[in-house]
Amino acid sequence: MTDQTPPAAAPQPAAPLTAAEDKQWAMFAHFGGILWILPSLIIFLVFKDRGTLTKQESKEALNWQITFLIIYIAWAIISAILTSVFIVSGLWGILWIFTLIGWLIYLANVAFSIMGGIKVNGGGSYRYPVNFRFIK
């Protein structure tokens, strides 16, 4: 005896975004950079095929977040090495500079992410000043 249930229907592609939704998700991709890479990555993966502005801006934001992550990891490695050198040398007073520079790097990410979100919300397009294009 065979099962006579009909085959399941193939999933349909998601509906394209309206112009307002496209602008909104593009803006969120930039503002999401405040929370590091994850929001930009999720928006790019979920909405890239549903809106042209979202695809363009989430790709730009994701490329910036990858660039920022590389810069931050490089700084963490350099900072760890220099911290160990200064501790061995007994120069404890200079260690606060490493923490300050780390915070300044993060604040630059926040500032660029906010500027990008505001620019896109105003109807423009935003390009980060220093950005490697890992995702074409």
Asked, for residue 54, whether it belongs to a domain, the answer is yes
* Residue 12 in domain: no
Identify whether 6 is part of a domain.
Answer: no
Distance CA 68, CA 85 (A): 26
pLDDT at 3: 65
| Pure H helices in 32-95 | 38-47, 52-89
Predicted confidence at residue 123, as pLDDT, reads 92
Q: Is residue 112 part of a domain?
A: yes
Does 59 fall in a domain? yes
Domain-located, residue 116: yes
Kindly report the pTM of this predicted structure: 0.83
Number of domains in the chain: 1
- How confident is the model over 19-49, as pLDDT tens digits? 999 999 999 999 999 998 999 999 999 999 9
pLDDT tens figures, 50-87: 999 999 999 999 999 999 999 999 999 999 898 888 88
